Amino acid sequence: MRTLVWHRRDLRVDDHPALAAVVGAVVGFFVFDPAILYAEQVIAGRCLRVHGGGKVAFMLGCLAELGQRYRKLGSELLLVYGDPVLLLPKVAQRLAITHIHAHRDGEPGAIARDRAVTERLSAMGVMVRWFDDLGLHTTTEIVTKTQEPYRVFTPFWRNWAARPKPQPVDTPSQLVGVDAEVMAAVADLRYEPSLEKLGFSHAMDLPVAGEAAGLRLLTEFCVGDRLRRYDRGREFPAAAGGTSQLSPHLRFGTVGIRRVWQQTVLAAELIRSDEEQQGILTWRQELAWREFYQHVLYFFPELATGAYRPQMQCFTWEQDWERFEFWCQGQTGYLLVDAAMRQLKATGWMHNRCRMVVASFLTKDLLLSWQWGEWYFMHHLIDGDLAANNGGWQWSASSGMDPKPLRIFNPHTQAKKFDPEGEYIRQWIPELRGQTAAELFAGDLWRPNYPRPMVDHNRQQLEFKRRYQVAKEQCGKLGED
Ligand SMILES: Cc1cc2nc3c(=O)[nH]c(=O)nc-3n(C[C@H](O)[C@H](O)[C@H](O)COP(=O)(O)OP(=O)(O)OC[C@H]3O[C@@H](n4cnc5c(N)ncnc54)[C@H](O)[C@@H]3O)c2cc1C
């Protein structure tokens, strides 16, 4: 038997069900698919690349490490460039592959691609085996008593939390590779990637990529008391280590989700107080949010292209690109919004509280479409993930499944509450470093080199509510408002 393990968003060897199920010789396989790499989206009449250089650079780092791991274990990772629907059969035929193993992906485009690949390979007599890996539970496992998908998080969470969780799968101690003479048959298909060759660049200060870094972050977060203190620290963007920062690793699968859960179980054994118990529970709830968004995208793929609430399909958004640019560059005059947008541009990551604040600001204060923000996040976030990003944006824009539709954050109050000392603001807005917290939050103070607030929050939120009512009258109402 000779198996090709097709890696996609699972760039690791530990806790890897598809690799662990291999019997006989194995080759790791990854395709640089131009249809994904160079995917474009039309935003305000502009054709823009979905993925940015930071994310691609992080992925290349993960792949470099994965290749080293394969070599250490006795096999190799074959990198190719092109359309997987054509390349998989070609490689399978040249290497006399009998089995293809891969993990399921619930994104609409991936489902169609995987179906096409399976059809072609099956017609050649190659056995294609799909394994579940994205979540602790499969997208179809958590359904209501009447076998319906969930649309609201809380009942989904109750069902999810009540179920036993799978154990991680161990790292293989060694792999059987394929002889060099056989591998010579694909020499012309081998691809040696670089960021430049792929046509990307970035100027971000990125976190360390790869499985070792992912596992290190996970252990540091769970073994000390950060996880157990999560409930207290997670809302404050200035708090170093208040959250796990595992999202890029969960996005590219450099840590296995069962390994993540196992660490929470080990941490739970050290609990000394109700507060610590709550910390673990809240973090597990975040893992469930990730799976909730995967679940709803799977069952309602139309979410990827438009608002879930019909009334929001009729909402009149502004078409002001200049305003959008101020938001992107962190020049709105709202401290927390600007600090967060600058953090995103500099590091490819942003704290969850800030994601909610900047998303609310874009949609409820600037009255610009959540889809513009969704694109910008997807382009710059190294954890940019269709399900989580779309879910976060639809939640923030009041266009999604959240039963509380008119949540509007006051950006000034949010800054005072979640960055009371102004540390995060000063870190990312260097022109304000000389100011005390009292000065930062002193309302209408004029600051040299820093813009005045570009809109009036109170006026804009009234305008948002007015447009929301109009849209509701035009396009009807879904669920309880
Ligand atoms: C507008 C908006 C856009 C977002 N876009 C993305 C995105 O593209 N990719 C992404 O991974 N997350 C996204 N999130 C969710 C969340 O902000 C990040 O997952 C989180 O900030 C990552 O930091 P962390 O790893 O330290 O999280 P922790 O607080 O340590 O949480 C652990 C893990 O749980 C998952 N998680 C946590 N919160 C959420 C959530 N609300 N929704 C889904 N999963 C969650 C993530 O995988 C995260 O790594 C978005 C949120 C909003 C409001």
User: pLDDT tens, 106-144?
Assistant: 999 999 999 999 999 999 999 999 999 999 999 889 999
- pLDDT score, position 444: 67
Mean pLDDT across the chain: 95
Residues 271 and 316 in one domain: no
Dump pLDDT digits (tens) for 214-231. 999 999 999 988 999 999
Cα(235) to centroid of ligand 1, in Å? 13
Collapsed DSSP state (helix, strand, coil) of residue 197: coil
The answer to whether residue 84 scores a pLDDT higher than 80 is yes
Is 129 in the same domain as 262? no
Decide if 4 is inside a domain. Answer: yes
Task: Tell me the CA–centroid distance for residue 380 and ligand 1, in Å.
Answer: 14
Q: How far is the CA of 242 from the centre of ligand 1 (A)?
A: 13
Predicted confidence (pLDDT) at residue 276 exceeds the cutoff of 60: yes
The number of the ligand 1 atom at minimal distance from the alpha carbon of 359 is 1
Q: Are 85 and 117 in contact (CB under 8 A)?
A: yes
Query: Both 278 and 341 in a single domain?
Result: no
| 477 confidence band (pLDDT: 50, 70, 90) | low
Report which of 405, 346, 338, 336 is spatially closest to residue 370, judged by C-alpha positions: 405
Q: For the chain, what is the domain count?
A: 3
Q: Is 130 a catalytic residue?
A: no
Q: Tell me if 355 CB under 6 Å of ligand 1.
A: yes
Residue 176 within any structural domain of the chain: no
Residue 286 CB less than 6 A away from ligand 1? yes
Q: Which residue out of 157, 283, 327, 370 is catalytically annotated? A: 370
CA of 354 to the centre of ligand 1 (A): 11
67 and 24 fall within a common domain: yes
Inside any domain, residue 286: yes
CATH number for 43 = 3.40.50.620
Share of the chain above pLDDT 90, in %: 91
For residue 385, the surrounding DSSP H or E stretch is none
Question: Which residue, of 133, 155, 184, is where some domain finishes?
Answer: 133
Q: Does residue 187 fall inside a structural domain? A: no
Is residue 375 part of the annotated active site? The answer reads: no
Does the CB atom of residue 352 touch ligand 1 within 6 A? yes
Q: Out of 141, 318, 321, 352, which one is annotated catalytic? A: 352
Q: pLDDT at position 443, please? A: 75
CB 384 near ligand 1, within 6 Å: yes
- In this structure, is residue 480 part of a structural domain? no
Same domain, 260 and 139: yes
Are 249 and 398 members of one domain?
Answer: no
The pLDDT of residue 476? 67
Provide the domain limits for residue 463.
Answer: 310-473
Rounded to the nearest angstrom, the gap between the alpha carbon of residue 188 and the centroid of all alpha carbons in its chain is: 34
Helix (H) / strand (E) element for 28: namely strand 25-32
106 and 156 housed in the same domain: no
- Indicate whether 267 and 326 sit together in one domain: no
Pairing, β 40-43 against β 46-49: antiparallel
- Determine if ligand 1 sits within 6 Å of the CB of residue 247: yes
Task: Give 3-state DSSP helix, strand, coil % of the chain, rounded to 5.
Answer: 50, 10, 40
The Cα-based distances of 370 to 386, 404, 417 in angstroms read 14, 17, 25
352 classed as catalytic? yes
Task: Please list, in sequence order, all residues whose beta carbon lies within 8 angstroms of the beta carbon of residue 347, skipping any fewer than 6 positions away.
Answer: 204, 205, 206, 207
CB 347 within 8 A of CB 427: no
Is-catalytic flag, 446?
Answer: no
CB 280 within 8 Å of CB 262: no
Residue that has been written with the tokens 């080759």 in this structure: 27
Mean pLDDT of 86-93: 98
Residue among 81, 111, 96, 83 at smallest CA distance from 27: 96
Same domain, yes or no: 238 and 284:
yes
pLDDT tens digits along 143-193: 999 999 999 999 999 999 999 999 999 999 999 999 999 999 999 999 999
Mean per-residue pLDDT for 426-435?
95
Please indicate, yes or no, whether residues 454 and 348 belong to a single structural domain of this protein: yes
pLDDT above 70 (res 480): no
Reported confidence tier of residue 17, pLDDT bands at 50, 70, 90:
very high
Centroid of ligand 1 to alpha carbon of 246 (angstroms): 9
Rounded CA-CA distance 275/225 in Å is 11
Taking the centre of ligand 1 as the mean of its atom positions, its distance from the CA of residue 75, in whole angstroms, is 34
Q: Which of 89-93, 107-111, 437-441 has the highest mean pLDDT?
A: 89-93
Output the six-digit token pair for 151: 């649309």
Same domain as 315, residue 461: yes
Give the model's pLDDT for residue 400.
87
Report the pLDDT value the prediction gives residue 406, as an integer from 0 to 100.
86
Residue 465 has pLDDT above 60, yes or no: yes
Element (H, E) at 189: none
Cβ atoms of 438 and 425 closer than 8 Å: no
| Domain-terminating residue out of 238, 268, 299 | 299
Q: Does the beta carbon of 217 sit less than 6 angstroms from any atom of ligand 1?
A: no
pLDDT confidence tier of residue 452, bands split at 50, 70 and 90: very high
Q: Are residues 314 and 288 in the same domain?
A: no
Given a cut of 80, whether residue 36 has pLDDT beyond it is yes
Q: Is the pLDDT of residue 8 over 70?
A: yes
Residue-wise pLDDT tens digits, 366-400: 999 999 999 999 999 999 999 999 999 999 999 98
Ligand 1 site, residue 356, Cβ cutoff 6 A? yes
Of 168-177, 240-249, 361-370, 399-408, the least confident: 399-408
Q: Is 393 a catalytic residue?
A: yes
> Which residue has the least CA distance to atom 36 on ligand 1?
286
449 is catalytic: no
